[in-house]
Amino acid sequence: MLLATLLLATVPSLPVIRYRVTCDPSSSADPKWRVEISVTGLDPKRRDVRFQLPGWGEWYDLDDYYVRELAGTPPVRHRLDFLERFDVELPADWDGTLKVSYAIPIVELGSRANSNHGLLPWRTAGYVHAFSSNTLMRVAAGEALVEAERTLELVPLPGGSSLTGWSGLAAGPQTVKLAPQADNTVLVLGVPSASQRSDDAGGLLEAVQFSGLPDCTKLAHDFARRLRVAYAATTGAPAGSAERLVLTAPGLGGTHVEGAITLGRPEIVTDVRGRPGFETGTAHFVAHELFHAWLPGVLKMGEPGLEWIHEGFTEYLSLWQLVALGDVAPDEFARRMHWYDELARKSAAFGKVAFASPDVNWREPENETIAYKGGCLLAFHLDALLRDAGEPGLPQLFRDFMREEGGAVRRAAFAKWLAAQGLDEAWANCCQAPFAPDPRADLLRAGFRPVEKPDPNDRHHVATALGGTTEPFFKFGK
Ligand SMILES: [Zn+2]
């Protein structure tokens, strides 16, 4: 008891940051997102404390039109020479507390401002949509963000609901305690048209639709749940985090943020099984984003420069899982591998960068194509070689690395793992040297066989594609 008391007395308590967010009714002539922040418990001796609004979504293109009605105690001033910064004029006898309030315009969905800056807050009939990163200021001291206990209170208009990717949907207002590493998620205030929720073998999963179109939440929820249950079985690890699908106005693209994928309500088509489903591109986008809960959510990137694993292997394993589940036809898998090969070969970086090199900036657009598409083809190549050699296949990486490598991938460990499966040449040829994919050889290795397809445009011509049944390749484990 005495020890506990002593320990408590020596642990310094963190500063506390409280955010309160409301919005003007959409009937207002110039609706705004209204943010109030109160900070207590900062070190009064520090003189370099300021607010900071990260530039995600390029809000600073709008100069000081974006953050309006700025008022603070002590006074806060927007630095026009460094637009992400908001300096605080600290008095000599400052007590370590700050208060600031400001408003951010909410532009109409489909307006020019919205088309040019789609990640900034927007509204449409019934709801407002924003991201936390470019609406909630952070508190910084010197060059670092202040570690603090942060809470967010979201207050919708009467009768409305509130949603965050960190906490999900609530009828009415909600207060969320932010995790220490919480950085960016979606915030929605308004009236959802439908929602679905489950918490089982697929982990906590929610689908919420805000557009007034026919309800798509059951289809989206069941699709995501089926995938998450399958990912857990394939990798041997349960979902480490909750996921929310936020379905907004149709025609909008998708963005994955912490705990949520926000995307335009997808079109419903007849899928490969003859049932209502999503077009392959949409299904693969959602499957890819959901798989990030395992890569790098479960299996972490142990060093920088592994985007080709993080993105390329995610692109591959999510598509593989879709075929395994019967949501995408094997023929479509073969077609996409050829298409990725075409895209990789069109990149100026093709044949110039090697995956194992620690010096590649994979976020440069030409290199990024190699990381995503080339990395996907590499994953397919390795999976095909592994299974050809009688090994379980690429998903085994998860089980082995969770058991032996502390759940993190590094180049040396990956090379060692490939060598242990008899693929040391693959490391030298495909990772240390630039990779030249041969999807046709890999498709044959995976059990695809040439199928003759009459060309409907030319009755004399018969195209040959790889297709047919490849069931063993799309199975893993028992
Ligand atoms: Zn990704």
Residues 243-282 have pLDDT tens digits of 999 999 888 888 999 999 999 999 999 988 888 999 999 9
If you average pLDDT over residues 385-391, what whole number do you get?
Answer: 92
Least confident of 114-128, 215-229, 444-458: 444-458
pLDDT digits (tens, 9 = 90+) for 103-143: 999 999 999 999 999 999 999 989 999 999 999 999 999 99
**Ligand 1 midpoint to CA 259 (Å):** 14
Amino acid at 50: R
Evaluate whether 346 touches 381 at the Cβ level (below 8 Å): no
Domain boundaries, given as residue ranges, for the chain: 15-180, 195-291, 300-474
* Residues near ion ligand 1 (Cβ under 5 Å): 311
**Ligand 1 midpoint to CA 91 (Å):** 46
**Ligand 1 midpoint to CA 289 (Å):** 6
Percent of the chain scoring above 90 in pLDDT: 81
**Ligand 1 midpoint to CA 454 (Å):** 36
pLDDT for res 455: 64
**Ligand 1 midpoint to CA 325 (Å):** 20
pLDDT for res 378: 98
If you average pLDDT over residues 171-192, what whole number do you get?
Answer: 96
pLDDT for res 201: 86
If you average pLDDT over residues 227-246, what whole number do you get?
Answer: 94
When computed from its CA atoms, the radius of gyration of the chain, rounded to whole angstroms, is 25
Q: Taking 90 as the threshold, does the pLDDT of residue 441 lie above it?
A: yes
Q: Taking 90 as the threshold, does the pLDDT of residue 457 lie above it?
A: no
Residue 19 CB burial class (10 angstroms; 0-12, 13-18, ≥19) = buried
pLDDT for res 379: 98
Q: Taking 60 as the threshold, does the pLDDT of residue 153 lie above it?
A: yes
**Number of C-alpha atoms within 13 angstroms, CB side, residue 337?**
30
pLDDT digits (tens, 9 = 90+) for 43-85: 999 999 999 999 999 999 988 899 999 999 999 999 988 999 9
pLDDT for res 182: 96
Q: Taking 70 as the threshold, does the pLDDT of residue 1 lie above it?
A: no
- The mean pLDDT of the chain is 92
Token code pair at residue 181: 């590493």
Token code pair at residue 241: 């985090």
**Ligand 1 midpoint to CA 369 (Å):** 12
Q: Residue 449's pLDDT band (boundaries 50, 70, 90)?
A: confident
Pick the CATH number of 15-180 from 1.10.287.110, 3.70.10.10, 2.60.40.3650, 3.20.20.220: 2.60.40.3650
If you average pLDDT over residues 276-294, what whole number do you get?
Answer: 95
Q: Residue 202's pLDDT band (boundaries 50, 70, 90)?
A: confident
Evaluate whether 362 touches 307 at the Cβ level (below 8 Å): yes
Q: Taking 70 as the threshold, does the pLDDT of residue 478 lie above it?
A: no
pLDDT for res 184: 97
Assigned fold of 300-474: Neutral Protease; domain 2 (1.10.390)
| β-sheet bridge partners, residue 203 | 200
**Ligand 1 midpoint to CA 341 (Å):** 18
pLDDT for res 271: 86
If you average pLDDT over residues 407-417, what whole number do you get?
Answer: 96
If you average pLDDT over residues 169-192, what whole number do you get?
Answer: 97
Q: Taking 80 as the threshold, does the pLDDT of residue 477 lie above it?
A: no
- C-beta neighbour count of 125 within 10 angstroms: 13
